Amino acid sequence: MTEINREIILDVKHLEVTFVNNKKSFRAVKDVNFEIYKGETFALVGESGSGKTTIGRAIIGLNDTSNGDIIYKGKKINTHLSKQESKDLTRQMQMIFQDPAASLNERATISYCIAEGLDNFKLYKDEKEKQEKIDNALKSVGLLPEHKSRYPHEFSGGQRQRVGIARAMVMEPDFIIADEPISALDVSIRAQVLNLMNKFKEERGLTYLFIAHDLSVVRYFSDRIAVIHKGRIVEIAPTEDLFAYPLHPYTRSLLQSVPMPDPRIEKSKELLIYDESKRDLSGEKPKLREIVKDHYVFMNDREKAEYEIKLEKMIKDKEESNK
């Protein structure tokens, strides 16, 4: 993607989501800021309970926000929208869920699962066009039109996730939120589903918000990555920069924890546990700030100075090892 025409499709500013349960409130998402450019795959990576799914659900309107703005194509969407506006938005923004078995109505045929959105928005002229759209959606995910009359339980996990993708794609969306779309699938099926998602990205110029915990998949699939820890983004960087020059200690501990499928690397690795209580938290309140172009870290001035030295050293190391 060239620098000049980076068009922002989604802009999240100071997002905060608070859950209230029995008078106790819990801030699941704290002052989260990021931009997603048109046509890119932006990944939110974090552990369970980090708030990554909550952010995704807030964007699509499934969770209420308690502060901040979500701006889609220049328009604030976490506010009261007119019927027509929210209709348009629902069509343009689709979600792919983690568990394909649970996200499809088990008593409805595949045809019904896929056509439900079309029906809601009357996205066809006549019955013939509707059926054509369903057939094409099925074909585009590698299933056959004759699968239409079957029920979700007659399919395997991988096939069900294909139906889930077809259900989203038939709406011809611009923006897809994929929440752990492959973590419930077997290894060899994962590759098939990822390839499918890549295909749609290329063919239709889709933008993805990819929510995941598996860093090796995220690395292959995303252009930029935001690492989230306890409801806060601690680092955002282009994928390769993040893997080469991770700066925030949480990011580093996370990267270190991902097992590499290489015995020599793994056998020489040591455990790196991130313990916030053991960190030097002196200085003013940290914020998410840019350290080099496109690379943001949650830090204050003191930490920024440390990270700059660290970054310089890592770049030097990398150059040396490349020689």
Torsion over CA: 260, 265, 271, 274 (sign): negative
> Per CB under 8 A, does 82 bind another protein?
no
Cα distance between residue 226 and residue 265, in whole Å: 25
Who's near 139: CB < 8 A, 6+ residues apart? Answer: 145
**Binding residue for another protein, selected from 154, 186, 294, 308, defined by CB under 8 A:** 186
**Binding residue for another protein, selected from 274, 289, 300, 302, defined by CB under 8 A:** 274
Q: State in angstroms the smallest separation of the CB of 55 from another protein.
A: 17
Nearer to another protein, 74 or 261 (CB): 261
> Per CB under 8 A, does 282 bind another protein?
no
**Binding residue for another protein, selected from 67, 123, 243, 304, defined by CB under 8 A:** 243
Query: Do 63 and 145 touch, CB atoms closer than 8 A?
Result: no
Q: State in angstroms the smallest separation of the CB of 310 from another protein.
A: 8
**Binding residue for another protein, selected from 84, 268, 277, 282, defined by CB under 8 A:** 268
Query: Do 16 and 30 touch, CB atoms closer than 8 A?
Result: yes
**Binding residue for another protein, selected from 215, 237, 291, 297, defined by CB under 8 A:** 215
Cβ burial 274-309 (10 Å sphere, 16+ → b, else e) = beeeeeeeeeeebebeebeeebbbbbeeebbeebee
Q: How many CB atoms lie within 10 A of CB 138?
A: 22
Nearer to another protein, 19 or 112 (CB): 19
DSSP codes joined into one string, 53-82: HHHHHHHTTSS--SEEEEEETTEE-SS---
Q: State in angstroms the smallest separation of the CB of 91 from another protein.
A: 28
> Per CB under 8 A, does 210 bind another protein?
no
Q: State in angstroms the smallest separation of the CB of 68 from another protein.
A: 26
**Applying CB under 8 A, which residues contact another protein?**
22, 24, 47-48, 156, 186-188, 190-192, 194-195, 198, 213-217, 219-221, 239, 243-246, 249, 252-274, 313-314, 317-318
